[in-house]
Amino acid sequence: MARPTALLVLLALGVLAGCGSPPVAHPAPPLPLGWKPVTYHLLAIDVPDAWTVRPWVPNCGATEPTVWIGPEEPVLLSCGAFDPGAAEVVLGAFPGSTGGWHHQVVNGLDVLMSTSQEPAVFHTTCRCLATTTTIDMDVVSQAVFVRIRAGESPVVPGGGPGMAQEVAHTLHRLVPE
């Protein structure tokens, strides 16, 4: 008699489990005109078409707008004074923090986000002073870190007002086919 009772309990649990809300699908944001998606594992982020996409290598900053495909590894580099140079995204970044993590939902993804700005940093690529914004994103469900760095001025390669935030808000999960 114990077996039919156990079977009924399992059946009831299965029915109750099926009564929950179906997962909500979050479509990818519309691709901005002149932008392309770059993928890493089950994630994608959109960047301007002119940005280069390369496998990650130890570097001291990009001289042209670049998306580095990780995983990034902790390395000790002798770069002299840090020159943020051109805009860059690291998909699979080494976990780091610019401080002040806060929770945000980006296109249906739970993300811990940290944003910082470095005002009036000298960029050798444009020979100018410009504010740089860095956004670190921990995509909790994917165990993936993303780092976005861009100048707030269009004279910095790949930069422009709000460029780092604009790229960050294109992050989305790929839908398996």
The C-alpha atoms of residue 142 and residue 88 are separated, in whole angstroms, by 21
Q: Is 16 helix (H, G, I), strand (E, B) or coil?
A: helix
Span 63-87, pLDDT tens digits: 899 999 988 887 776 665 556 679 9
- Counting Cα atoms < 13 Å in the Cβ hemisphere of 143 gives 0
Band (176; pLDDT cuts 50, 70, 90): low
Residues 141-166 have pLDDT tens digits of: 888 999 999 999 898 899 999 999 99
CA distances from 64 to 20, 81, 114, 165 (A): 48, 18, 24, 19
Domain boundaries, the chain: 26-173
Which DSSP symbol is given to 12?
H
pTM over 0.75: yes
